[in-house]
Amino acid sequence: MAEHTVKAFDEDITRIRGLIAEMGGLAEVAVQEAMEALVNSNEELADSVVVRDKKIDALEVEVDKLAVRVIALRAPMADDLREVIAALKISGVLERIGDYAKNIAKRVGRIEGRKPFEPLTLLSAMGEVAEEMVHDVLTAYGARDVVLAREVVERDHKVDAFYNSLFRNLVSFMMENPATISSAAQLLFIARNLERIGDHATNVAEMVHYAATGDYPPEEE
């Protein structure tokens, strides 16, 4: 892309993109480590995920301030405008992804009786799909890769399918083992969080698509 006549405008846009990339990196790691903490019952790691969420929140505020400033001072047009609007929305979504990761981490200590059981394996597979979506959508953002963004959108149904099957699985597990209901309920919430992370990764993908083309990706049914 050609440079702006006003160089500071380019610097602002670059800075916004850098902040989004940083936020995305932190959110991605948060999801990954929250799941790792869950699978390995690593409460120390879980706590550190919770603490680090503050950094993501702070970055969101920074992106918002900078985006508002760019809109006020530079009145961006066309692809610049879409870039700034997309950044505003993406930062909000990444902050939510961070919150879901934090929520998963907080539940790690509440799961009792750590003998491995089947739903946990399913959950960890679901986590991998969600993590990959977050990872790929950030790659798509960095490279303005519309094809990859669409691919992420299409992948969301996988996470939904995992959620449905986990739900059934956990309900029957609870019926068979009433003593584990409290732990299994925690897993159900975690599955729900992962499902939401998938949805939010999809939202980011839509904004990447919008910023690059001016259109939203075609709706899938």
Partner 1 sequence: MVSNQPSADTMVPTVEFADANSDLTPKMSARNVCVYYGEKKAIDDVSIDIQTKYVTAFIGPSGCGKSTFLRSLNRMNDTISSARVTGDINLDGEDIHAMDVVHLRARVGMVFQKPNPFPKSIFENIAYGPRIHGLADGKQDLDEIVEKSLRRAGLWDEVKDRLQESGTALSGGQQQRLCIARAIAVDPEVILMDEPCSALDPIATARIEELIDELRGRYAIVIVTHSMQQAARVSQRTAFFHLGKMVEYGVTSDIFTNPREERTKDYITGRYG
Note the residues at the interface with partner 1 (CB under 8 A): 1-6, 9, 74-82, 213-215
SS3 (DSSP) at 161:
helix
DSSP 114: -
Q: Which is nearer to partner 1, 39 or 81 (CB)?
A: 81
Tokens at residue 24, please? 């995305």
Please report how close the Cβ of residue 9 comes to partner 1 at its closest, in angstroms: 7
Q: Which is nearer to partner 1, 78 or 147 (CB)?
A: 78
Cα-trace Rg, the chain = 19
- Residues 180 and 169 sit within 8 Å (Cβ to Cβ): no
Please report how close the Cβ of residue 129 comes to partner 1 at its closest, in angstroms: 33
Smallest CA-to-CA distance from 141 within 67, 197, 91 is with 91
Interhelix angle 181-213/118-143, rounded to 10 degrees, is 20
Please report how close the Cβ of residue 4 comes to partner 1 at its closest, in angstroms: 5
Q: Which is nearer to partner 1, 2 or 147 (CB)?
A: 2
Q: Which is nearer to partner 1, 162 or 210 (CB)?
A: 210
Q: Which is nearer to partner 1, 39 or 85 (CB)?
A: 85
Distance CA 155, CA 158 (A): 6
Tokens at residue 13, please? 């846009």
- Residues 200 and 93 sit within 8 Å (Cβ to Cβ): yes
Please report how close the Cβ of residue 15 comes to partner 1 at its closest, in angstroms: 17
Please report how close the Cβ of residue 75 comes to partner 1 at its closest, in angstroms: 6
Please report how close the Cβ of residue 77 comes to partner 1 at its closest, in angstroms: 4
Q: How many CB atoms lie within 10 A of CB 104?
A: 29
Q: Which is nearer to partner 1, 8 or 171 (CB)?
A: 8
